[in-house]
Each structure stands twice: as structure tokens, then as C-alpha cells.
Structure 1
């Protein structure tokens, strides 16, 4: 995995220790879908999160990862002391690290290491609040250590194969990212990569774990989610800029993937911020 992670740029956004109660995550009424990742470490208490079709029980002694752009719900029935970090981690400038590497979202910390882990988190909270070059470097270093815990669960043989294919796919991915507002046909992105259509589709699926069309739609949903979060454009404008033929089609696809309509998603963001 060294080849891919050499381009890793990790940024710490926020680190805090928070006491959560039953209103955490608006008691599961809000679906979060943020452009940043989260890492959790429970100091005391318990809670749960749901994302990627699975429910995770948040308990002391484990690290938990919620990758960026992961629709999820949060529930805290009891009091919980939570150490948490919001972050971004990208390779080659724009690709989210955890979009590329298939990692476990839960990592158990050995009992012999829990004291050191807690001390590191406390230090993380302290240095992340300081506005000095030294503190920034130390804070980023701690984030990289936490990220490494999850990367250690990745299948290195699969990651190596992805690395070998990456250079051929990058021009196609760049093209997709820059042309989400229009129809994108598989033959044209296959041609950019230098493959025949069928071979391109099969290799893309085996490399990224999803067919090209599903990947394109995921990128459209990601862009739409970011635009809905900004709140500055109408649904008609968003549907057009994200490449949907009309607002009805946009709403149908969005609800199928997100479990709610774009209007409901926007309302949930208002509830989140209230």
C-alpha cells in the first residue's frame, strides 16, 4: 500500500471530548452525510451508529470510523463521554482514502494499549486547539496514527492490485469529476483509459468494487449532497448541475440511495443545526 499512501494528505478539522446524551444526533432523526470523515473513541458510556447497512455499538476500548459521505444515524440512549475527530484524508489530491481502501470500520484496541490510546487522544485534543506550526504537525501525526489502525485491516493484496490499475483509471476519474453536469457514456471513459468497453467495465468493477455507472451516480449524489448542505441553490438547479434529466429523476434516484427525498434531506440538515 506504500505507493498509494505516499500521496496521502490528511487534515485535522476538529478534535473534541464531548459528553453526549439522548439528544446526540437528534436521537436518530437526522441522516448525516458529511464531506469529512469521523473517528470516535468512547471514554465512558455507550451509543450506536448506523452506516453502510450495519449498526455499530460504540463501546469503550475500540476505535470507530465513519468515512466521508457515509449516510448514517446516531443514537445515544445513555450518557457517553466521546473523544472524536473530524478529518479529511485524500490521495492524489481528490480521492478519499477510505473510498479507495476497504477497511474495517471498527478496530479493537488491546487492553494493554488502552491507557496509551487515551493519553494520545487527550494530547490530540490539546494540540489541535493550538495555532502553531509544531502543534499542527503533531496533530496531523496523531491523525495519521489513528488512520493507520484502520489501514492495518485492509487487504494488502487487493490494495496492491488497485495500485497497479490506478494510473490507467485516473484520467477517466478526472473526466467523470469534471463532467458530472452532463451525460457520461461508458464508451467515452473507457476510451480515455485506453480499454475496450467490456474490459474497462469488468476491470473498473474489480478495482473499485462498483460498476462504472454506479460510481458515476455515487459521485452525482456526493455532489448533490454537498450542494444541498450549502443551501444556496434550488432543487432544479442542483438536479441540472449534477447531470439529471429533470428534478423528478433526481428526487427518485436520491431517495433510492439516501432513503429520503432531497427536500427531506435539506430539512434534516435544518434539524441537525437547530
Structure 2
């Protein structure tokens, strides 16, 4: 369901909180560090982390609380509410952190190896759990275990999501395409990959043969060409949908990369009979 503006006050959890931003934006402050999540992003709050969560406007944020490690006194555990930041004396109920138990460091904003598959599995697990029957809970636990395994495989050394593996960054072109209308910096993409900006740029260039900002520009121009060919949107509307700050910047970049002005490209390529407005 859609949640209007909301805020979850400071707290430390005993378990793991996995969240998916389906619509809108969410702000998480974890151990003093702020993270802004957009539609399509995943968030992981680990046990004992001091955090707040905020949805500044309407959001859809499916979430699930889960235990990763077996605890014989699990039945005594509970969901921590806002304001509970002192969990001293509850050591036997607090789940171990992933880095402490497995040596795998998973960032608060993490990127699964296959984001769409991870999302679908997570939403399925939530839906099945809500049935409240034994088989549903068993299947939900099974799916949740698969999610945890996927995260650990994505960030463990030597995994197929290691920067040294050819499969690394397979998700990035889809991510860029989904966010073409937004300001998207190398730092943003690097954070989602769990790398520094310089390391991300190096890995990206090795994988795709050009720097990330050039690759992104070509995707923006390809989207613009498609809109010029198949829509009657104005140049201003197209420039906005393709992530350019203004029409002048759009026109200048378009001509530099394609050899034609946007207007000339539209007149040359658009099927006859379709109106072709200007600005």
C-alpha cells in the first residue's frame, strides 16, 4: 500500500530488515550516515545498527524482518519499535552481523546480481508469508534464505559479482536505462556497485570499452532518437525525459554525437504523416 509522508524514529533492531523501494523515495540514516533511496533500490539494516527511516512523500516500500542465523531462543525475540536504542542486556536475542559471522561486508544500499529476480523473489516471499499458513511460512522461509544467499554471493570475494569477474556490472545498463531522466553521477553508480568512483570507472571502462559518463550520454541520445522517431513530444519534453538540464545542452550534445541537430534528425527519420512540433 501507498504510505503518505512517514518517519521511523531512532532504534536498533535485533534482526535484519530488508526493504525495497517500489515507488517514491526513502531516506535512511544509519550510524550517522545518510542514504537516499530511489525507486528500484534495496536497503539492508543489520542488527544493532542505529538508524532512522523516512519517506518524505508517498512511497511504496515492501519490507521483511528476518533472522539469518538460527537462534534457539528465537521465540523470545520481538520487533523493536521507534525510540528503543538501548539493546544492552539482549545479547542472546541479537542476530550476528553479516561481516562478523561470515566476513562478507554488505552495504546499506546494496545491488543484487539480478535486481529484477531479487525483487520478484522478495515480493513473492512477503505475499506468501501473509497467508499465515504452515506451507506458506515454510516456502517464505525458503525464499528468504535464497535472498540472503544471493546477497552473500554478490558481495563475497571471488563471487561472480566481483569486479574481476566478467559478469560484474551486467545490471548497470538496465539501471542506467531506468534512470535516464534523472541526474545520475559516477558516484551514484559506484555506490550502488559497492566501489569507489575511481575503481568503478576503471572496471566499467574495462567491461564496456568507454567511461561510464560517455556510455550514459550515448544511452541518452539513443533514447532521444527513439522519442524523435516515434513520438510528437517537443524538444523540451524530450530533453527532460533524457536527463538533459536544458534544450540547448541537449541539442549541442545530440549534434556532437549524431552529426545532426535533433530537428534535422526528426525530419529525416520520422514516418510521414506524424506531426513534428518544435520547442
Which TM-score band (shorter chain)?
0.3 to 0.5
> Higher relative contact order at CA 8 Å, sep ≥6: structure 1 or structure 2?
1
Q: Considering fraction of residues, name the structure with more strand.
A: 1
Higher helix share: 1
TM-score with structure 2 setting the length: 0.38
